[in-house]
């Protein structure tokens, strides 16, 4: 997965409302974050799949960041 996608993902997490991120269950959180990349010019189907797996692996960190804000 390219660094630009990773930066975009973490920027999205930082900009998102904490209450929204915390209200979603794990699967919904992965889906919602993944959907934010629909139409993103730098993402192909392989990277989209990698992104979903990456988000799934980082759910505890995403929730920790949301709780801090």
Q: Which of 1, 20, 49, 48 is nearest to 12 (CA)?
A: 20
pLDDT of residue 4: 87
How many Cβ atoms are within 10 Å of 29's Cβ, its own excluded?
A: 21
Q: Is residue 28 a contact partner of residue 55, using CB atoms and an 8 Å limit?
A: no
Distance CA 50, CA 44 (A): 10
pLDDT tens readout for residues 5-54: 899 999 999 999 999 999 999 999 999 999 998 777 768 889 889 999 99
Element (DSSP H or E) covering residue 67 = helix 59-68
Number of folded domains that form the chain: 1
3-class state of residue 38 by DSSP: coil
Domain residues for the domain of 24 are 3-68
């Amino acid at each position: 997965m390219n660094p630009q996608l990773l930066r975009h993902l973490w920027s999205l997490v930082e900009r998102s409302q904490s209450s929204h991120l915390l209200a979603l269950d794990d699967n919904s959180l992965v889906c919602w974050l993944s959907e934010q990349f629909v139409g993103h010019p730098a993402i192909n189907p392989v990277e989209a799949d990698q992104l979903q797996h990456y988000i799934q692996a980082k759910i505890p960190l995403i929730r920790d960041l949301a709780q801090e804000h």
